[in-house]
A and B are shown apart, each in its own frame.
Chain A
């Protein structure tokens, strides 16, 4: 038999994945291109893919247009606090739902899941009223407090905790751990993939959130990056190059977090392979 099979230097599934990822990358590329064009270039029709020159000035101009340093700081504080809060409180609640036996646990858990189905637009006003009564409107607390714990996070971690072998926890209890000790010394170190996932999701969600900050923030000083970016978009005029330059900068932390944490997720997944 003299049949040569066609051999690709990569797996055949990449034939599908490559074009798809190009489609995904196109808006990003377009954003990058717009961010280095002049305003008149962005209005050219038909649009051209390669700008005449690289107009880096858009970046400092965007930063000068509003107190973006302050916005970045606000966003960072809110995001880090939300991530930390979610990791801690969702772990505690998730562990309770996964392993502790208490009256009404399952009913409570179903109720918690049900809240996942309520859209934000429904809870928006009541949440605002609560935050207002707490005197937090127009402060970073208004952005942090409602996001410290999420039903999604509790659900995610509870599901993961239930997959860990219970003998490990029993061994730890016999070895002298309290319930909290079991959680912090045995369960959480083994839950890195789930914690990394929750961390990333919370980071992205909080960093990108626009609607809630828009509702509770009125003074420019307390704006987050996303609110600051909106100021480039006027009713009659949008400064596209500045908006896209700002967007590129707002995107950077997310890309970094994602690239770093993604590697970590893969590592953690490999390290938990304890069967053998």
Chain B
């Protein structure tokens, strides 16, 4: 097992596009780190550079204490799960699981027992003689995980491994993956564009945008104290409301971020800063009600208790506590408080 260090890593593609821009990030041994960002933010490229599928333009990658520049993918002792699963279509599940072991010339008996062990762990025993084409999406995903697990790599790389599954299965496998990580304790780098996935899965999450690292921290840190407007808007669902400063008694040149759950009826929060919301769309979810509407000239979402009765067109008298405001500079987007 080993940690991974990105040291000032840059990837420029021919033609000048910068996919990863001076990324420095340390991933501890045994940690589950999620790289998250919108598509094109460079998270997959960073992962591919760890695997050795792309070469960095500048900077270094250390796996454990070893600088892996020039080391072939095979010799890095990492395993990768692809978004498309990349199962070998001409091999049965058994052969897919055994393939990485055989390529490392393990004794036949050891290959056999390892395949049995992994398929037992992932519930694949019944499927060993099938081909990938005969499996459902969830089963394929499991085989892909199994192939990565079977040879006990020092680092797991997962590139959007759940994004081809339906929502229910995704939630299930997310929980399984978390358990699996707890069980094997191997360093995992997990790439996703889905911030909910990042929040629920990551021990720490690293938010990237345009190839630059925006913020890294535990999900609570990133959600509770986003370091700039991009992170504030990207992390959290529904996204953070962003209002001009004067709407909440702040000077111009400052924008104020307010989480939807921080907006409360004024009766519950008499000392808070007042905000009037004209409801447009009301989404009752049972436990909560999402009210989409206009406030201070921008679109705002408020998350109210499920018991709240709101109809479209209604004017809601809301309030927000001083301590729940996130202040950002209007131009740089950086946090000012």
Contact = CB atoms under 8 A, between A and B. Distances in A.
Contacts of A168: 86, 88-89
A269 B86 CA distance: 19
A178 B103 CA distance: 10
A176 B74 CA distance: 4
Interface in A151-196: 165, 167-168, 170-178, 181, 185-186, 189-190
Contacts, number: 66
Given A173-B73, A186-B88, A181 B103 contact: yes
Interface string B46-90: 000001110000000000000000001110101110111010111
A104 interface: no
A276 B83 CA distance: 14
A12 interface: no
8 contacts: A165-B84, A167-B84, A171-B80, A173-B72, A174-B53, A174-B79, A186-B88, A274-B133
Contacts of B230: none
Given A165-B86, A175-B74, A274-B133, A170 B104 contact: no
Interface in A235-276: 271-274, 276
Interface string B95-120: 00001100110000000000000000
B82 to A, nearest CB: 5
Nearest to A177: B103
Interface string B126-140: 000000110000000
Contacts of A274: 89, 132-133
Interface of B: 51-53, 72-74, 76, 78-80, 82-84, 86, 88-90, 99-100, 103-104, 132-133, 147, 151
Nearest to B159: A167
Majority secondary structure, A binding face: helix
A210 to B, nearest CB: 39
Q: Pick from B52, B89, B132 the residue with the most CB of A within 10 Å.
A: B89
A264 to B, nearest CB: 14
Given A173-B72, A178-B74, A190-B90, 12 more contacts: A165-B84, A170-B51, A170-B53, A171-B147, A173-B52, A173-B74, A174-B52, A174-B74, A174-B79, A174-B80, A175-B99, A189-B90
A173 B84 CA distance: 16
Nearest to B48: A170
B74 A170 contact: no
Contacts of B151: 175
Given A170-B53, A274-B89, A176 B82 contact: no
Contacts of B84: 165, 167
Contacts of A271: 89-90
Nearest to B99: A175
Nearest to B81: A171
